[in-house]
Amino acid sequence: MSHNPAPAISQVRRFGDVAVVDVQGDIDLSRSVEFQQTLLRILDEKPSRMVINLEAVPYMDSSGVASLVKVLSRARRANTLLVLASLSPRVKNLLEITRLDSVFKISANEQDALA
Amino acid sequence: MTSPAQPLRLSISSNPSHLPVVRAAVEKVCEILGFDCDTVGNVVLGVDEALANIIKHAYHGRQDQPIEIELAPLHDADGSIELLIRMRDHGLEVDPSSIKGRDLDDIRPGGLGVHIMKHCMDRLEYRPAEGGGTILTMAKRFPTVRKEIGR
């Protein structure tokens, strides 16, 4: 079985120089490369803040986390504030296991992430 | 362990697109066995990370190589269950002494899979397989039995 999975990024909404990125579906080894590449392209536009809305991401593995770490590193160099919003319990658990919950700025929901 | 149930066996190729299918199967087995939601999530994560490691390290990303997976619930006399998960690959043999996660204080992409597997499982053992490749055995123990499968 092999197929082309749906794009990890379903939508990018812009509010001035803030980008809100809607992510959909599981982020695992089959999708993390495309996930990372798309996020880095959005960062190239140098938003002042990038909110990654993970509400529709029920599952993420270490390759997805590695992508987020890469994006965070690039965002810091570009002076873009990166915020993760609306984490599912399993994604939250993964960040806690890897102790990255203290590295990322995490908001309970998109509204808080934009405040 | 007194009563091994019938194991569930899956054979997949090393294509990452198969990972969601295995995750779904593992989740369903854990649910049927009556495991709590947090434990189910950890078992699914541990299995997924182990498979991703096989694809990346044993097969160097080749997508057409065989992986065999076996899920075997072992029922103990006291009502507890240990779920044994065995994975067999036919790739490069792994030196068990070389398998370790990176320091979590070293914030960089990658190197988290083994740490996650150790966190999610109670036991983890690598050994060379006859004829080449590696067998990974992972185990997770659960305190209570609500349902049983394969018996």
- CB neighbour list of residue B16: distance below 8 Å, 6 or more residues apart: A28, A29, A30, B52, B55, B63
Contact between B111 and B101 under an 8 Å Cβ cutoff? The reply is: yes
Show the domains of chain B with their CATH numbers.
3-142 (3.30.565.10)
Contact A2 B63 (CB under 8 A): yes
Print pLDDT tens along chain A (115 aa).
556 678 999 999 999 999 999 999 999 999 999 999 999 999 999 999 999 999 999 999 999 999 999 999 999 999 999 999 999 999 999 999 999 999 999 999 999 999 9
What does the CA dihedral B46, A97, B38, B34 come to, rounded to 10 degrees?
Answer: 30
Q: Which residue has the tokens 């160097």?
A: B60
Which residues of B fall within a CB distance of 8 Å from A94?
A: 45, 116
Which residues of A fall within a CB distance of 8 Å from B48?
A: 28, 61
Which residues of B fall within a CB distance of 8 Å from A93?
A: 38, 41-42, 45
B67/B14 Cα distance (integer angstroms): 6
Domain spanning A9-114: which superfamily?
Answer: STAS domain (3.30.750.24)
pLDDT in tens, B91-146: 987 766 666 666 666 666 667 899 999 999 999 999 999 999 999 999 999 865 45
Percent helix, strand and coil across chain B, each to the nearest 5: 35, 30, 40
Contact B20 A98 (CB under 8 A): no
**For the packed helices A32-43 and A62-77, what is the interaxial angle rounded to 10 degrees?**
10
ipTM for this prediction? 0.89
